[in-house]
Amino acid sequence: MLNAITLMSLKLAAAAPAGGEAKGETPFPPFDSNHFATQIFWLLLTFGILYFLLSRIFLPRIGQTIEERSSRIADDLDAASRMQKEAEEAEKSYERALAEARAKAHNVAETTRQSVDAEIEAEMEAADAKASKAAEAAETRIRAVRTKAMANIEAVAADAAQATVEALTGKKPTLATVKKALN
């Protein structure tokens, strides 16, 4: 295959100059000075038009667009940083307000608790006083009952002693004697 390619390339190489010769005296086209004038003329004309269009219309337009965009971006960035600062300040003041509110609420709770405590204490004291008074009354009553009972015991004992003595001796002692003997 490579041989075939080499063969073909040789054939081509041989054919190219032959073709050139067949056309006679026409030189290698890029060196043909007959066509220099037209190329120079049309190049200067078209390039001149292109230069005019670019420098007067298109490039200023592109440049302006780019500049507008970059200034717009800078403005937007400024605004964004300003807004962020504002937001930060707002957050700070919010936190401050929150802390104040919290402290206030704490105070209110504390005072409420204190007053409630005081009330509870007063009530407790009152209840205590009532209870102790009741206990005292009960005690007095108990003592009275006991004294009365003791007196009764004496009478019962005297009676019993009188009866016992009477049964033993047949003689009924006086109550006063019995009581004297018992005491």
Partner 1 sequence: MIAAGLDPIGQFEIKKLAELKIGNFDISFTNSSLMMVICVAAISLWLLLSTKKSLIPGRAQSIAEISYEFIADMLRSSAGKDGMKFFPFVFALFIFILFANMLGMIPFFFTTTSHIVVTAVLALLVFFIVIIYGIWKNGLGFLKLFWPSGVPVYIVWFVSILEVISFFSRPISHSIRLWANVMAGHIMLKVFAGFCIMLVGAFGVVGGSLAGMLPFLMTFALTPLEFLVSFVQAYVFALLTCIYLSDALHPGH
The span of 50-58, 108-116, 150-158, 160-168 binding partner 1 (CB under 8 A) equals 50-58
Ramachandran region, residue 141 (left: φ > 0; alpha: ψ -120 to 50; beta: rest): alpha
Among 21, 24, 25, 29, the residue binding partner 1 under the rule CB under 8 A is 29
| # residues near partner 1 by CB under 8 A | 48
Task: Tell the burial category of 178 from Cβ atoms under 10 Å away from its Cβ (0-12, 13-18, 19+).
Answer: buried
The span of 5-13, 79-87, 106-114, 150-158 binding partner 1 (CB under 8 A) equals 5-13
DSSP string over 58-89: IHHHHHHHHHHHHHHHHHHHHHHHHHHHHHHH
CA distance 108 to 103: 9
CA distance 71 to 78: 10
What are the φ and ψ backbone dihedral angles of 88, each rounded to 5 degrees? -65, -40
Rounded to a whole number of angstroms, the CA Rg of the chain reads 68
**Does 47 engage in binding with partner 1 (CB under 8 A)?**
yes
Q: Which of residues 51-70 bind partner 1 (CB under 8 A)?
A: 51, 53-55, 58-59, 61-66, 68-69
State the amino acid at position 158 in one-letter form. A
Site string for partner 1, 72-111 (x = CB under 8 A): x---------------------------------------
The span from the first CA to the last CA of the chain, in angstroms, equals 161
| Joined tokens for residue 6 | 């080499």
In the complex, least distance from residue 25 CB atom to partner 1, rounded to whole angstroms: 14
Q: Is the Cβ of residue 50 or residue 181 nearer to partner 1 in the bound state?
A: 50
Q: Is the Cβ of residue 59 or residue 116 nearer to partner 1 in the bound state?
A: 59
CA distance 90 to 75: 22
Q: Is the Cβ of residue 66 or residue 155 nearer to partner 1 in the bound state?
A: 66
In the complex, least distance from residue 20 CB atom to partner 1, rounded to whole angstroms: 7
- Residues forming contacts to partner 1 in the complex (CB under 8 A) are 1-2, 4-5, 8-9, 11-12, 15-16, 18-20, 28-32, 34-44, 46-47, 49-51, 53-55, 58-59, 61-66, 68-69, 72
